[in-house]
């Protein structure tokens, strides 16, 4: 076994031991095929008010601009599916990925452990770790490393266990053996995700108008949620799982084994009234380690009020009809 083969085997074995679900490796290069797609998406303003998406265009396409002399992109998937018998019973909904501790911190620790082990094996290498926190086209690299394909909802789907995964990378100047890109697309004629999206955000296969996405409206959008979405947010107050919940490939999802991703407290059973009356001090105490802090208290409160007002209007309409 040559050194590249040995180090590649080490990476994949160590990744599995640390709790990563899948690992694939691709050659660092400019993603020429993604350039026109990204440019068109931005030109159509599908990124909404996420102005940061317009920055670092070339860095998003070429990891060699992020890590000097980069040779390899190690793509890693971390399962966050809570299981089919999840304990979440609150009528106001939070995305599955946010039930436990903030994945940024959990996965970065896993990444640094993997990189540290690789450095011990390979010697003095240059690397950076990424998990949804830098201009990296995570899904494109996952496809390039053979881990799955991009579904019509724009999510990366694994044939083995669906799409409830976080994607992370280690970009390094170490040369490794590369996996073949994933070939084909297994969505077929299915359009369940497109049909089910409450706000019509999936405007074409693999094309998401993020400005209409409930996740964008309840997390990324700093302004108030536009009134045009009243009655369409489907009780979601942080994120949305609809397009994944209806995906047939997610029948193969299995419960994660990452302890910090377990639901972090009784808030998963809160009534509408408890959500409506939450104060900032309680928010910080309950969600201090949660991804919900990304939206912040003010934004979460606004999403709760928006949803409560929608529900009140619906109840009045129902009363009027009777």
Euclidean distance between CA atoms 102 and 100, whole angstroms: 7
> Could you tell me whether strands 202-204 and 207-208 are parallel, antiparallel, or unpaired per DSSP bridges?
antiparallel
Do 72 and 169 meet the contact criterion of CB atoms below 8 Å apart?
A: no
Distances (CA, A) of 31 to 22, 89, 230: 22, 42, 39
Rg (alpha carbons) of the chain, rounded to whole number: 21
Euclidean distance between CA atoms 291 and 91, whole angstroms: 19
Euclidean distance between CA atoms 31 and 301, whole angstroms: 40
Neighbours of 321 (CB within 10 A): 6
Q: Is 132 a catalytic residue?
A: yes
Select which of 69, 102, 124, 132 is catalytic: 132
Nearest C-alpha neighbor of 278 from the set 289, 263, 266, 261? 266
Report residue 156 CA to chain centroid gap.
9
Report residue 136 CA to chain centroid gap.
13
Known catalytic residues are 132
């Amino acid at each position: 076994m040559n050194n590249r083969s040995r180090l590649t085997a080490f990476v994949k074995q160590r990744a599995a031991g640390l709790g990563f679900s899948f690992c694939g490796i691709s050659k660092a290069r400019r993603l020429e095929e993604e350039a026109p797609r990204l440019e068109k998406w931005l030109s159509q303003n599908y990124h909404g008010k996420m102005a940061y998406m317009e920055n670092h265009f070339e860095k998003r396409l070429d990891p060699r601009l992020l890590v000097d002399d980069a040779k390899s992109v190690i793509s890693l998937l971390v399962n966050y599916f809570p299981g089919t018998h999840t304990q979440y019973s609150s009528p106001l909904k939070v995305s599955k990925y946010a039930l436990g501790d903030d994945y940024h911190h959990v996965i970065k620790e896993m990444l640094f452990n993997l990189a540290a082990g690789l450095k011990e094996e390979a010697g003095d290498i240059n690397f950076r770790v990424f998990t949804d926190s830098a201009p990296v086209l995570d899904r494109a690299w996952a496809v390039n490393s053979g881990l799955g394909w991009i579904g019509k909802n724009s999510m990366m789907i694994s044939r083995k266990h669906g799409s409830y995964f976080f994607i992370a990378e280690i970009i390094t100047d170490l040369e490794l053996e590369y996996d073949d890109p994933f070939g084909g697309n297994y969505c077929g004629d299915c359009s369940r995700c497109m049909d089910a999206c409450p706000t019509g955000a999936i405007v074409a296969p693999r094309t998401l108008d993020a400005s209409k996405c409930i996740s964008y409206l309840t997390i990324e959008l700093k302004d108030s949620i536009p009134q045009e979405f009243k009655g369409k947010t489907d009780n979601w107050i942080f994120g949305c799982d609809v397009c994944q919940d209806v995906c047939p490939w997610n029948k193969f999802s299995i419960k994660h084994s990452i302890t910090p991703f377990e639901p972090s407290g009784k808030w998963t059973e809160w009534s509408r009234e408890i959500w409506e009356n939450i104060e900032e001090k309680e928010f910080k105490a309950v969600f201090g380690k949660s991804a919900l802090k990304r939206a912040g208290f003010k934004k979460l409160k606004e999403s709760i009020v928006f949803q409560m007002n929608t529900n009140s209007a619906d109840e009045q309409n129902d009363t009027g009809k009777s």
